């Protein structure tokens, strides 16, 4: 076995394109005023339009268009005038038996997303608007579709606005795919376009996977994998599919172009059952809707109000530091959404390192609670520490209390009895300790500097943690200098 | 003589006759006469009496019930009526009661109209004879062996026979004008977008328009003024206002509310009291204005191939307009030769998609089967009639992979060519006139075996649908067989005012046709002095 | 028969196999007799409709309604839904607040 067989995929390069569907975070559906709401009782969010009752007509949700344009702008796409098409196919979860989608004139084209770790740019072919389908529950046969005796359909989700983001086949590993979806998910949340919760289905991924001999420029036959409901499934399914395809082509067999379903329990992809004619979608322009025009003014207006992307948020924090060390930490902080705390603290005068470390340690340990902190209040707490009004230990205690039940750092500190020591009082405590330990003091004076920790510990004990360690050391050093 | 909407409404508003008594007379008439015609699929007796009672109460309280106070209206069975059967004359919707009403139905009710029933039609409005109804053919009131035309044959027959004062139909390729011509009444298709399609069961979305039938141009204009206006529930609905100085219709600038009833979709039900909301505030001023000086073209492509007796009526109408001072010339738009072909690609294509939703899951018929795909196929095969299936097949083919550009795409481009060709002609002419139908009413069963022959009967009406323009058919005497002939007036988009004016002039020049043998002519309870046609 | 052989050449005779394919696509269960009839009738209508190919349309783009406005949208404001009992009362079959359908043999395309 040659070297090239031991690394990567036995001499083959995977070529992966991803189609990410995200539900837009609107109050109402794409074409009617029914609530866009997850988890309600079945068929309670329906009306003549989203049930496709005869005679009903769609009207476009203005907010959905705005959010779609935001996605396009955040992905560096060209945002353009667009029209809707009908995609015709019969399926029980689709009330009209056609889906209103965008075909050859989508709202967003030609953008890119940069992967934060590697800086690799994945090109975006298009990001178009469409409507979601209903949900089908299969009854009997263990819930498996083909074994079930009947199915039940809930149309609450039918007509929920979606944007489908289609990447070019620029992805070459399952890890890159994971990074792409992860970054995209963060971006969608960051700009307020989608809740992007994979576990609730508001972010869904289909992967187009093919393999080709390393160094080849040609594209192999691809398979589309559906039902990737988590990042873990995405990685596993792509890995499985790459191995399956490499097994085929490396033994002289061919990959058949088909749509496959990820079987999470079985850990494998399975070819879908659908008939050939199902793929003749007979697209034609939706006659019940009119053109959506976008001129440069409107694009500029939306761009002007676009919340920052994760990329911009990371760059913002990094710009506040002198060096680029800590990039991984910054990426984590942004991913957690805690960057606002860091930035607020720094803007209030907290030293960047302190702002980052408090946030990365104490706040990040309790992300959900930390996200509820008011950034300005958080900054005041860190300033109290920086000004010596609170010791690190006290600061941590106050922060825990703020994350437990909110409140102002000043009053919490006061309630906890964390009155900062007056410098004179602290110096007199230090002097007392030095006097009580003459041997140690002599050794310290002779250069045994590690004994500083001994004195700090003694002072802390005497002050029940109120003293500031750095200040204690400063006082020791002053005593030492004075004694010379 | 058959009652007019204007008269009925005036009498009811003045308290001289109650809406209830009028309603009851019409309901009785439907019961006595409709057995011969089968114009109605559903008679809304209880509902109509309720509406009439409500109107009488308003009159008693001194409130204005609206410009259609107490006027009996029949509506085509493809218009949704809340809680009342809406079948589209199809087995697949045989028992369907919509949970909502069409915008036009709400507008009629707010104007005080009394909806007396739902009329027969070709299934899903696909047809030209009303023979494609799943529930039996409607007969022409002038000759029971002839068709009333279609697809709105029930509405045309109801108005012609006096079983309703006015009616609504829908016109996708002539489905109002053609039956109006064959039944000797006035029928009009508005500019595309003038009347909301919300609640009209779609046939071909880019061509469908709802419009009125009446015995006079004045009644048709009155109904039009009530049902027209912007509707936020229909994205293709236009925002139009009437220019006070010129009387013409103009598109309101984007973002400005139109003068029609605005945003009524969620408004509480109740009579429209503010007549200013209607496009013609003064009621009938749209018929005012001279014919003198108008430039009128006789459109060759919808006239020269018509039967000689029909052609003579068009020539007489043209002569009458000349005598009123109009300039009348023959004009040709050769591109119209392609209109029928384009129509029979576009309309079935849209229909194939619009009718996909009848899948046996949410409403309507279900024919059971082992799996869902078989259930859908059996339901649709069992529920749709042969003409509907034919058009679904045609449309599916025209949209399918490899054929789209040659068929549907090309047809839409032809449509753009037609729009341009009309625009060029309307630079020189105010309106065009011509035949509404190639001939008078044909016999029941005469064309059912030959779809293409049936389709050709729409050749004169289709151009206006493709262009999105308004057109009206006005009865103009009879053909050699004594059956009604219609003359059509075509106008450019938003040209309804001049179209109505010319239509009224043609109407007053027409040799009046005797009422049909099957006719209720005593709606107001006042003995007719014109003979009632019962003899 | 390979339908691509006929692609973009309107006026050619549509085959019975194509008609059967179209019927499946349209979810219509046609009898042999219906297939024969529709094959003949579709040919006749398509022959006529194929006239559209003889007009030069190179100077125009496909029409939409000439008067139609652009950007017709509604505010993102919730409106009333229909009561579920009323929704399900229209259904041929319902269970547990949902529409009941026979088992699904094909995956969503």
Q: Which residues of A290-322 are buried (b: 16+ CB within 10 A; e: fewer)?
A: bbbebeeebbeebeeebeebbbebbebbbeebe
Which ipTM did the prediction report?
0.93
Final residue before a domain boundary, out of A374, A393, A415: A415
Q: Where are the alpha helices (DSSP H) in B324-475?
A: 339-354, 372-383, 386-399, 410-425, 451-456, 462-467
Residues A296 and A333 in one domain: no
How close, in Å, is residue A51 to chain B by CA atoms? 8
C62 → closest Cβ in B374, B416, B493: B416
Q: Is residue C37 part of a domain?
A: yes
CA distance A61 to A82: 14
Q: Are A149 and A207 part of one and the same domain?
A: yes
Q: Is there a contact between C65 and B393 if contact means CB atoms under 8 Å apart?
A: no
Burial class (CB in 10 A: 0-12, 13-18, 19+), B97: middle
**pLDDT top residue among A331 and A324:** A331
Helix (H, G, I), strand (E, B) or coil at A458: helix
B371·C72 Cβ contact <8 A: no
Rounded Cα gap, residues B130 and B343, in angstroms: 19
Neighboring chain A residues of C76 at a CB cutoff of 8 Å? 26-28, 61-64
How wide is the angle at C-alpha A287 spanned by C-alphas A156 and A302, nearest 5°?
70
* Nearest CB partner across the interface for A97, out of B79, B204, B356: B356
From the list B429, B407, B389, the residue with the least C-alpha distance to B345 is: B407
CA-nearest of B435, B440, B457 to B448 is: B457
Is B151 an annotated catalytic residue? yes
The residue range of the domain holding A315 is: 308-415
Searching chain B, which residue's CA lies closest to the CA of residue C65? Answer: B468
Q: Please, which pLDDT band fits residue A278 given cuts at 50, 70 and 90?
A: low
**A97/B400 CB distance under 8 A:** no
Same domain? A278 vs A318:
no
Chain C residues within an 8 Å CB radius of A293: 70-71
Question: Which DSSP symbol is given to A18?
Answer: E
Give residue A141's pLDDT.
Answer: 76
CA dist., res. B175 & res. A331, Å (int): 65
Range of the domain at B186: 5-271+281-288
pLDDT of amino acid C78? 96
Verify that A86 and A233 share a domain, yes or no: yes
Residue C97 domain flag:
no
Longest Cα separation, chain A? 98
Residue after which a domain boundary falls, among A285, A302, A319:
A302
pLDDT digits 0-9 by tens, A143-201: 677 778 899 999 999 999 999 999 999 999 999 999 999 999 999 999 999 999 999 99
Task: For A255-303, give the secondary structure using H, E and C.
Answer: CCCEEEEEECCCCEEEECCCCHHHHCCCCEECCCCCCECCCHHHHHHHH
Q: What is the number of domains present in chain C?
A: 1
- Check if the beta carbon of residue B195 is closer than 8 Å to that of residue B213: no
C107 vs chain B: nearest CA distance in angstroms? 11
| DSSP, res B355 | G
The enclosing domain of A449 has a CATH number of 1.10.10
**Interchain CB distance below 8 Å, C104 and B372:** yes
What is the spatial distance between Cα A338 and Cα A340, in angstroms, rounded to a whole number?
5
Final residue belonging to a domain, choices A360, A386, A415 = A415
Domain of B88: which CATH number? 3.90.1300.10
Q: Give C58's pLDDT tier (boundaries 50, 70, 90).
A: confident
The number of distinct structural domains making up chain A is 3
Same domain, A394 and A455: no
pLDDT at A3 over 50: no
How many angstroms separate the CA atoms of B529 and A277, rounded? 66
pTM comes to: 0.89
Rounded Cα distance, A238 and A14, in Å = 9
Give the total number of structural domains in chain B: 1
> Which residue of C lies nearest to A27 if distances are taken between CA atoms?
C76
Instruction: Count other C-beta atoms under 10 Å from residue A407's C-beta.
Output: 13
CB within 8 Å: A57 and B232: no
Task: Return the residue of C nearest to B194 by Cα.
Answer: C67
By mean pLDDT, which of A320-329, A355-364, C93-102 is the weakest? A320-329
- Establish if C64 belongs to a structural domain: no
Residue A483: both structure tokens together = 């004694």
Strands B295-299 and B431-435: parallel
Neighbouring subunits of B (3+ Cβ pairs under 8 A): A, C
**Residues A411 and A435 both lie in one domain:** no
Q: How many CB atoms lie within 10 A of CB A324?
A: 8
d(CA B228, CA B497): 13
Tokens, residue A456: 């700090």
Taking an 8 Å cut-off on Cβ atoms, the answer to whether A292 and C70 are in contact is: yes
Interface of A with C in 287-306 (CB under 8 A): 287, 289-293
* A188 and A285 co-located in one domain: yes
Q: How far apart are CA A108 and CA A163, in angstroms?
A: 10
Is the bond preceding residue B151 a cis peptide, omega within 30 degrees? Answer: yes
For residues A268-290, average pLDDT? 86
Alpha helices in A77-230 (DSSP H): 174-190
Q: Is residue C96 domain-resident?
A: no
Q: Do A55 and B408 touch (CB under 8 A)?
A: no
Query: Is C41 part of a structural domain of the chain?
Result: yes
> Is residue B181 in a domain?
yes
Per the CB < 8 A criterion, the answer to whether B466 and B173 are in contact is: no
Active-site annotation holder among B9, B76, B106, B473: B76
What range defines the domain where residue C21 resides? 1-55
Give the position of tokens 């039996």: B136
Strand-pair partners of A19: A166, A206
Angle in degrees, CA A9, A13, A14, rounded to 5: 95
**Beta bridge pairs of residue A23:** A162
CB atoms under 10 Å from CB of A5, counted, come to 11
Name the nearest CA neighbour of B476 among B312, B343, B236: B312
Backbone phi and psi for residue B308, each to the nearest 5 degrees, phi listed first: -55, -40
| CA–CA distance, B320 with B511 (Å, rounded to integer) | 11
Tell me whether residue B378 is in a domain.
no
Find all residues with CB under 8 Å of A380, minimum gap 6, and list them.
A348, A408, A409, A410
- On whether residue C22 sits in a domain, the answer given is yes
Is B457 considered catalytic here?
Answer: no
Assign 3-class secondary structure to B225-288. Answer: HHHECCCCCCCCCCCEEECCCCCCEEECCCCCCCCCCCCHHHCCCCCCCCHHHCCCCCCCHHHC
Residue of A nearest to B356 (CA): A97
Q: Which of B513, B489, B519 is nearest to B189 (CA)?
A: B489
B107 catalytic per annotation: no
The single-letter DSSP state of residue A142 is: G
CATH number at residue C26: 1.10.20.60
Q: pLDDT per position in chain B (535 positions), as tens?
A: 688 999 999 999 999 999 999 999 999 999 999 999 999 999 999 999 999 999 999 999 999 899 999 999 999 999 999 999 999 999 999 999 999 999 999 999 999 999 999 999 999 999 999 999 999 999 999 999 999 999 999 999 999 999 999 999 999 999 999 999 999 999 999 999 999 999 999 999 999 999 999 999 999 999 998 999 889 999 999 888 777 777 788 887 654 333 333 333 333 333 232 333 455 544 445 666 789 999 999 999 999 999 999 999 999 999 999 999 999 999 999 999 999 999 999 999 999 999 999 999 999 999 999 999 999 999 999 999 999 999 999 999 999 988 898 899 999 999 999 999 999 999 999 999 999 999 999 999 999 988 888 888 899 999 999 999 999 999 999 999 999 999 999 999 999 999 999 999 999 999 888 889 888 877 776 433 333 433 3
Same domain assignment for residues A399 and A455 = no
User: Parallel, antiparallel, or unpaired: how do β-strands C98-102 and C94-95 relate?
Assistant: antiparallel
Rounded Cα distance between A78 and A234, Å, is 28
Instruction: Write down the pLDDT at residue B535.
Output: 34
Question: Per the domain annotation, does C63 fall within a domain?
Answer: no
Q: By three-state DSSP, how is residue B167 classified? A: strand
Q: What is the pLDDT of residue C2?
A: 39
């Amino acid at each position: 076995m040659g070297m090239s067989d031991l690394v990567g995929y036995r001499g083959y390069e995977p070529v992966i394109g991803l189609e990410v569907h995200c539900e837009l975070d609107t109050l109402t559906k794409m074409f009617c005023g029914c609530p866009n709401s997850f988890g309600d009782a079945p068929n309670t969010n329906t009306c003549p339009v989203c049930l496709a009752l005869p005679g009903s007509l769609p009207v476009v949700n203005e907010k959905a268009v705005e959010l779609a344009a935001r996605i396009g702008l955040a992905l560096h796409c060209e945002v353009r005038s667009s029209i809707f098409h009908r995609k015709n196919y019969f399926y029980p979860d689709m009330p009209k038996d056609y889906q209103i989608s965008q075909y050859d004139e989508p709202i967003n084209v030609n953008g890119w997303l940069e992967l934060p770790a590697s800086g690799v740019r994945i090109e975006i072919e298009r990001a178009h608007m469409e409507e979601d389908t209903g949900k089908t529950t299969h009854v009997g046969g263990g819930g498996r579709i083909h074994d079930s005796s009947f199915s039940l359909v809930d149309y609450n989700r039918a007509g929920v606005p979606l944007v489908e983001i289609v990447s070019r086949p620029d992805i070459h590993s399952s890890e890159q795919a994971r990074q792409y979806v992860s970054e995209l998910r963060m971006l969608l949340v960051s700009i307020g376009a989608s809740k992007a919760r994979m576990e609730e289905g508001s972010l869904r991924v289909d992967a187009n996977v093919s393999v080709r001999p390393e160094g080849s420029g040609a594209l192999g036959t691809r398979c589309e994998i559906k039902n990737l409901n988590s990042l873990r499934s995405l990685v596993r399914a792509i890995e499985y599919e790459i191995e399956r395809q490499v097994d085929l082509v490396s033994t002289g067999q061919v990959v058949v172009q088909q749509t496959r379903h990820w079987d999470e329990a079985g850990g494998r992809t399975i070819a879908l059952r659908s008939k050939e004619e199902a793929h003749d979608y007979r697209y034609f322009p939706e006659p019940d809707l009119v053109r959506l025009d976008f001129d440069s003014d409107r694009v500029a207006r939306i761009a002007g109000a676009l919340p920052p992307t994760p990329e911009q948020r990371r760059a913002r924090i990094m710009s506040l530091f002198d060096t680029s060390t800590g990039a991984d930490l910054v990426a984590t902080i942004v991913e957690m959404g805690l960057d606002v705390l860091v930035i607020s603290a720094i803007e209030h005068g907290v030293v960047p390192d302190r702002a980052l470390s408090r946030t990365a340690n104490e706040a990040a340990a309790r992300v959900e609670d930390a996200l509820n902190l008011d950034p300005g209040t958080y900054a005041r707490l860190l300033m109290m520490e920086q000004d010596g009004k609170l010791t690190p230990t006290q600061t941590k205690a106050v922060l825990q209390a703020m994350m437990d039940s909110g409140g102002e750092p000043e009053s919490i500190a006061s309630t906890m009895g964390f009155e900062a020591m007056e410098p004179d009082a602290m110096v007199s405590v230090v002097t007392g300790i030095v006097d009580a330990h003459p041997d140690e003091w002599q050794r310290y004076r002779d250069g045994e500097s590690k004994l500083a920790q001994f004195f700090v510990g003694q002072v802390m004990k005497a002050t029940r943690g109120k003293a500031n360690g750095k200040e204690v050391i400063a006082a020791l050093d002053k005593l030492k200098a004075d004694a010379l | 003589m058959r009652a007019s909407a204007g008269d009925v409404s005036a009498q009811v508003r003045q308290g001289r006759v109650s809406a209830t008594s009028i309603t009851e007379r019409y309901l009785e008439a439907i019961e006595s006469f409709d057995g011969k015609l089968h114009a109605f699929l559903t008679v809304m007796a209880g509902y109509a009496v309720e509406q009439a009672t409500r109107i009488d109460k308003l009159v008693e309280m001194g409130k204005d019930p609206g410009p259609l106070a107490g006027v009996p209206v029949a509506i085509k069975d493809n218009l949704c009526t809340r809680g009342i059967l809406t079948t589209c004359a199809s087995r697949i919707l045989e028992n369907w009661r919509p949970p909502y009403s069409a915008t036009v139905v709400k507008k009629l009710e707010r104007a005080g109209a009394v909806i007396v029933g739902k009329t027969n039609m070709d299934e899903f409005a696909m047809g030209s004879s009303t023979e494609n109804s799943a529930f039996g053919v409607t007969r022409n009131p002038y000759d029971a062996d002839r068709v009333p035309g279609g697809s709105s044959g029930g509405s045309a027959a109801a108005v012609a026979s006096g079983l309703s004062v006015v009616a609504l139909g829908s016109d996708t390729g002539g489905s109002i004008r053609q039956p109006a011509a064959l039944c000797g009444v006035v029928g009009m298709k508005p500019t595309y977008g003038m009347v909301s399609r919300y609640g009209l069961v779609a046939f071909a979305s880019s061509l469908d328009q709802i419009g009125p039938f009446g015995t006079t141009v004045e009644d048709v204009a009155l109904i039009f003024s009530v049902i027209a206006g912007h509707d936020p529930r229909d994205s293709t609905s236009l925002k139009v206002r009437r220019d006070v100085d010129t009387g013409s219709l103009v598109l309101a600038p984007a973002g400005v509310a139109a003068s029609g009833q605005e945003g009524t979709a969620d408004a509480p039900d109740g009579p429209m009291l503010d007549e200013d909301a209607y496009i013609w505030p003064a009621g009938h001023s749209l018929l005012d204005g001279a014919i003198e000086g108008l430039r009128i073209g006789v459109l060759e492509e919808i006239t020269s191939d018509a039967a000689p007796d029909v052609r003579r009526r068009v020539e007489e109408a043209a002569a009458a307009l000349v005598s009123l001072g109009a300039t009348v010339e023959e004009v040709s738009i050769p591109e119209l030769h392609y209109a029928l072909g384009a129509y029979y690609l576009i309309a079935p294509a849209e229909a194939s998609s619009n009718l996909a939703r009848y899948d046996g899951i949410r409403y309507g018929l279900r024919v059971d089967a082992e799996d869902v795909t078989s259930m859908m196929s059996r339901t649709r095969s069992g529920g749709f009639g042969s003409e509907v299936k034919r058009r679904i097949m045609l449309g599916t083919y025209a949209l399918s992979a490899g054929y789209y550009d040659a068929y549907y795409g090309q047809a839409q481009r032809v449509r753009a060519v037609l729009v341009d060709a009309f625009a060029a002609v309307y630079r020189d002419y105010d309106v065009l006139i011509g035949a509404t139908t190639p001939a008078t009413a044909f016999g029941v069963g005469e064309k059912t075996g030959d779809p293409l022959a049936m389709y050709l009967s729409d050749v004169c009406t289709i151009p206006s649908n493709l262009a999105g323009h308004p057109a009206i058919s006005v009865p103009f005497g009879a053909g050699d067989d004594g059956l009604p002939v219609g003359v059509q007036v075509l106008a450019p988009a938003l040209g309804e005012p001049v179209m109505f004016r010319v239509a009224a002039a043609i109407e007053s020049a027409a040799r009046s046709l005797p009422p049909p043998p099957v006719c209720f002519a005593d709606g107001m309870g006042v003995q007719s002095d014109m003979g009632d046609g019962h003899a | 028969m390979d339908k691509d052989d006929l692609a973009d050449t309107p006026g050619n005779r549509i085959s019975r196999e194509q008609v059967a394919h179209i019927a499946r696509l349209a979810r219509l269960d046609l009898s042999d007799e219906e297939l024969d009839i529709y094959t003949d009738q579709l040919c006749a209508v398509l022959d006529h409709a194929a006239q559209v190919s003889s007009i030069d349309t190179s100077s125009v783009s496909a029409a939409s309604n000439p008067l139609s406005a652009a950007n017709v949208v509604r505010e993102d404001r919730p409106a009333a839904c229909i009561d579920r009992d009323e929704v399900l009362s229209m259904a041929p079959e319902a269970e547990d607040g949902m529409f009941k359908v026979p088992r699904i043999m094909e995956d969503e395309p």
